[in-house]
Amino acid sequence: MVDAVTLTNVQFQYPNADRMILDGVSLRFPQGEWTAIIGRNGSGKSTLARLIDGLLLPKQGQVTVCNLPVTEENMTRVHQQVGIVFQNPDNQFVGATVADDVAFGLENRQVPLAKMRSRIQQALAAVDMTDLASAEPTMLSGGQKQRVAIAGILALKPQVIILDEATSMLDPAGRQLVLDLLQRLRTQQQYTIISITHDPTEMAIADRVVVLDGGQVIRQGDTATVLADVDLLRHVGVGVPAGQALRQALVDRGITVPARYFTEEEMVRWICQQL
């Protein structure tokens, strides 16, 4: 499979910091897959996202996006391939209205007005916000603002979408809506999605999980394999998915449960079989 994003032995240190925030990270993000990146606060997750989009440049090592090395010269093309949804819905809303905000990226890319209209319409339709096209940001909920942010990215037709804790400031309903939307988008079109998250549901949706700790990749693999390791999840301080938490609770009480990953439904099914 082709890799949408690769990192080779990447090192990064913030100015005036005494330690490396990322130290020798090598990763591959296959095209069309959803990868979740988990880890403690300060483990370098957000830095990784910024390195992929070229918002920061590594001290050492190389980052490529769609076979394009992320360097100063390629910056415009890299920004075209990668879209990031950031954590705070308010701090990434540039436009005065929903349509204006979606237009912002297109204006930067000098898309002519005639094309802009149809692309904005398509993008808003994809995130189900057509009715609110002329709404102002104060009238929108956090979840709606994040959907607008996603529309702003879709309008630019990128290859890679990065979610930098994009659902962490939303209420559960808003979060579910955003995640459903992304799952739908991924099946419709071949986006490569990288989601940085602490949320168990968001991890469970991913195809692959990468665990960062102390600026290094300490584990990566299929979602089922990584999330089955409850001790690891506890060690890096992230939430344990419900099915997995239940399995662990049963094991702690001395019940023999197969040592594999269980989603919530699988767990329910397994318990029903045992009864």
Partner 1 sequence: MNNKIVFGSYVPVASPLHRLDPRMKLLMCIWYVILVFFANSWGTSLWLLAGLLLAMLMSHVSFRQYWQGLRPLAWVIVFTVAFQVLFSSGGRLYWHWGIMSITHDGLVNALIIFYRFMVIITASTVLTATTPTLRIADGLDCFMRPLKFLRVPVNQITLMLSIALRFIPTIMDEAGKITNAQRSRGMNFHQGTLVQRVRHLVPVLIPLFVNSFKRAEDLATAMEARGYDPDSPRTHFRQLHWRGCDTMTFVVMVLVTTILFLIRGGLL
Report in angstroms how near the CB of residue 97 gets to partner 1 at its nearest: 8
Report in angstroms how near the CB of residue 160 gets to partner 1 at its nearest: 12
Residue with Cβ nearer partner 1 (96 or 249): 96
Q: Is 228 in the site for partner 1 (CB under 8 A)?
A: no
| Residue ranges with strand state E in the chain | 3-12, 22-30, 34-38, 60-65, 68-69, 82-85, 160-164, 192-196, 208-213, 216-222
Residue numbers 108-147 binding partner 1 by CB under 8 A = 108-113, 116, 120, 136-138
Residue with Cβ nearer partner 1 (170 or 211): 170
Q: Whose structure tokens read 């990322």?
A: 22
Mark residues 78-97: x for contact with partner 1 by CB under 8 A, - for none. -xx-xxx-x-x-xxxxxxx-
Q: Is 99 in the site for partner 1 (CB under 8 A)?
A: yes
Cα separation, 195 vs 201, whole angstroms: 12
Q: Is 154 in the site for partner 1 (CB under 8 A)?
A: no
Q: Are 252 and 239 in contact (CB under 8 A)?
A: no
Report in angstroms how near the CB of residue 203 gets to partner 1 at its nearest: 24
Size of the site for partner 1 (CB under 8 A): 39
| Residue type present at position 87 | Q
How many of the other CB atoms lie within 10 Å of CB of 115? 10
DSSP state of 72: S
Q: Are 7 and 26 in contact (CB under 8 A)?
A: yes
Under the rule (CB under 8 A), what is the footprint of partner 1? Answer: 50, 53, 55, 76, 79-80, 82-84, 86, 88, 90-96, 99-100, 103-113, 116, 120, 136-138, 152-153, 156
